[in-house]
Amino acid sequence: MLEVLLDSLKDTAILIPFLLAVHLLIGLFEARKLNSLKKSRLLGGGFAPLLGVGVALLPQCGFSVVASELYSKKYIKVGTLMAVFVATSDEALPILLGHSVTDASALVKLALLVGIKVVMALLLGYALELFSKRKPQAEAVKAETSQEHHAHGCCGHHVGEEDDKQNIFSKYFKHPIIHTLVTTGFIFVVNFALGTVIHLTGGEENFALFMSQGTWLQPLFATIIGLIPNCASSVMITEMYASGALTLGATVSGLAVNAGIGVAVLFKQNKNLKANLAILCGLVVYALVFGYGITAIESILLL
C-alpha cells in the first residue's frame, strides 16, 4: 500500500503546475469578462449557443453558473443554456493536459472528448433555439443593466466589476490557488482509491478485465456521478478516463451532464420547477443516448 500511496502522490504532483496555470488564466478572464458578457447583446442572437459553447469549454464551472443566472432572468433561451451545460468541461482539460506529460495518448483522449462534446452541445443548442418560443426580454435586460449586479464564478465567489476595490492577490490569485488546492486534493483521493482497487484486484490487467465486463453499465454509472454538483465528480470521471478505467462513451455521458454547480443554481434561481425538471431530464437522456451510442461504436471497433 505504501507503493500505491507514493504513486498517487507522484501522479497528483505532476498535475499541480497545469492546474494552477489554467486556474490563474481563468481567474483573469472571469475578473475582466463575466460582467461584460452578461450585458452582451450577442446573448439573444443566433450566435448565442456558439458563444456559450466557446466559453464553456474553458475549464471552469463558473460559466455554467452564469448561464443559469442569465436563463432565470430571461437573457438567454434554453438552447444556449443547454449548450453551455453540455460543453462545460470543468477539470477535464487541465487534468488531461497534465497527464500528457507522461502519456502522449492523453492528448488524443482530450481531442476526442472535447470534439464530441462540442458537436453535442452545438447540435442540442441550435435544435432547441429553433423550437424555443421563449425570447430574451429587452425590458428585463434594460432594468438589469441599469442596476448594480454581481456575477458569480465557480463555487459562488463574486467576480467582475465589484472586485475592482480588492487588492491584486484577492482579485486574481486567491480563488485560483484555493481552487487548485481543492482540486489537487480530489485528484489525490481519486488516484489513491483507483490505485488501491487496482492493487486489490491483482494488478492493471485484472482491473482492466474487471472494468470491461461492466462496459454497458459505465455510461449510467458515469452519468449518476456527473450529476453530483461539485468539481470532484468531473475530477473522478476524468481521472478514471485517463487511467483507462472508463470508456470514452461513459466519459462523454458523465461530463455532458456535469455542469459543476450550474444545475443547482438553476433550481435555486429559476422559479419554474417544471422547466427546470425538463431541462435536467433532457440533459440526462441526451447524455445517455450519446454515451451508449459511442460505447456501441467502441465495442464494434474492438471486435
CB under 8 Å, gap of 24 or more: what pairs does 46-49 form? 46/129, 48/76, 48/77, 48/79, 48/80, 48/129, 49/79, 49/80, 49/83, 49/121, 49/122, 49/125, 49/126, 49/129
pLDDT reported for residue 256 = 92
pLDDT in tens, 153-174: 445 455 444 445 556 777 677 7
Cell triple for 172: 486574481
CA nearest 208: which of 240, 239, 251? 240
Strand partners, 152: 158
Q: pTM, whole model, 2 decimals?
A: 0.72
Q: What is the Cα–Cα distance from 249 to 299, expressed in whole angstroms?
A: 10
Any idea what DSSP says for residue 74? T
Q: Which residues does 132 contact at the CB level (< 8 Å), separation at least 6?
A: 77, 78, 79
pLDDT at 84: 92
Burial class of residue 216 in the structure, from the number of CB atoms within 10 Å of its CB (0-12 exposed, 13-18 middle, 19+ buried):
middle
Residue 22: per-residue pLDDT: 65
Alpha carbons within 13 A on the beta-carbon side of 133: 0
DSSP run (H or E) holding 151: strand 151-152
Q: Cβ–Cβ contacts within 10 Å for residue 170, how many?
A: 11
Q: Using one digit for the tens of pLDDT, what is the confidence trace for 26-49?
A: 666 655 555 555 555 556 667 888
Identify the pLDDT of residue 213. Answer: 66
Q: How do residues 202-223 score in pLDDT, each as one tens digit?
A: 766 666 566 556 788 899 988 9
Please say whether the beta carbons of 192 and 227 come within 8 A.
Answer: no
Per-residue tens of pLDDT for the chain, all 303 residues: 778 888 778 877 876 776 677 667 666 665 555 555 555 555 666 788 888 888 887 766 567 877 887 888 787 889 999 999 999 876 777 788 888 878 888 889 989 999 999 999 999 999 998 887 655 554 444 444 444 444 444 454 554 444 455 567 776 777 778 877 877 887 788 778 877 876 776 766 666 566 556 788 899 988 988 888 767 778 888 888 888 888 999 999 999 998 877 888 888 888 899 999 999 999 999 999 999 999 999 888 876
Pairwise CA distance, residues 89 & 105, whole Å = 19
